Amino acid sequence: MESWQLDFKDASTVAADPEGKQQHVVEVFDAVDVGTSILIAAEARADFSMATAIETAAAIVSEQGLPDKVTIDRDPRFVGETSQRESPSAFLRFWLCLGVEVSICPPRRPDLNACVERYHRSYEEECLQVYRGADLEAVRTVTATFKQHYNHERPHQGLACGNQPPRVAFVVLPARPPMPATVDPDGWIGVLDGKQYVRKVQQDTSVRVGTTRYYVTQALRGQEVTLQIDASDRTMVVLHEGKEVKRVPIQGTGRGRMPFGAFVEMLCQEARTGHVQGPGQLRQLALPL
């Protein structure tokens, strides 16, 4: 129960809506444990986005406890859009702030997420194509039944299971760390310690890192500056011509620890709007020259 693999699976038996979604009409968010092959969760929804993925992940860890590591692919609902990958997405920060390592599979490497991918094949062939759930409620019903069958009745050929159902092979599971009562929403910064971003100062004196915009003085318009993350004091160090000229709090930080529920809602709101909430908004950098 230390390492989980996460992925979305289309409910292929749900037809496209002539007046709505043409694909991914109903999807299932699956979590499979690497060490035991246990299907930890299989949550079906018709509205998966980054925000609802965070809500689903929060519900899973509230019930199961925290793993040490999760593995995901590059679905934008996990990692964010391409233009926003310079800083962790709200979904990634959910895990990082809880102290969970995140491994992101390189492109075209489903073999690195093999446990959940192999489960998807079984789910498709033995559940969806047999019971033909045609809408969200039907998919939820057949998925819940198949989860019980998969974990407790269906022999699993994985080496760890020895041709037994996962929950038969692993009757007693170790307790996982519970959800903390409060979370530091800035805990993700340590992962990016030392990371640098080279930017050209625009005519409006701004530089952008991901979706975050910082402003510098007019004297640096048209010149390159380097912004480097210092996790020790959670600042962005502004360098010009190799010299440190200013430190500024990383935008959206400094909120202090917050209840877990408030932390989840903050990330969901950010995922919905693309706007980082925090004390202060765009910060003006007064750079000494």
Residues 225/240, Cβ–Cβ less than 8 Å: yes
Domains 3-169 and 189-253 belong to one CATH topology? no
Paired sense of beta strands 39-45 and 27-33, if any: antiparallel
- Give percent above pLDDT 70 in the chain: 93
**Is residue 74 packed enough to be buried (19+ CB in 10 Å), middle (13-18) or exposed (0-12)?**
middle
Residue with tokens 């640098």: 196
Beta bridge partners of 44: 28
* CATH for the stretch 3-169: 3.30.420.10
* Lookup: tokens for 229: 């993350």
* Lookup: tokens for 19: 């007046």
Q: Give tens-digit pLDDT for 260-288.
A: 999 999 999 999 987 665 543 333 443 33
CATH 2.40.50 at 189-253, yes or no? yes
Chain centre distance of CA 21: 24
pTM confidence score:
0.86
Count Cβ atoms below 10 Å from residue 26 Cβ, excluding itself.
Answer: 25
Q: The dihedral of CA 23, 28, 31, 32: what is its sign?
A: negative
pLDDT at residue 82, rounded to an integer: 58
- CA–CA distance, 195 with 206 (Å, rounded to integer): 19
Q: Give tens-digit pLDDT for 72-85.
A: 999 999 998 754 55
Does residue 21 or residue 170 have the better pLDDT? 170
Domain ranges in the chain are: 3-169, 189-253
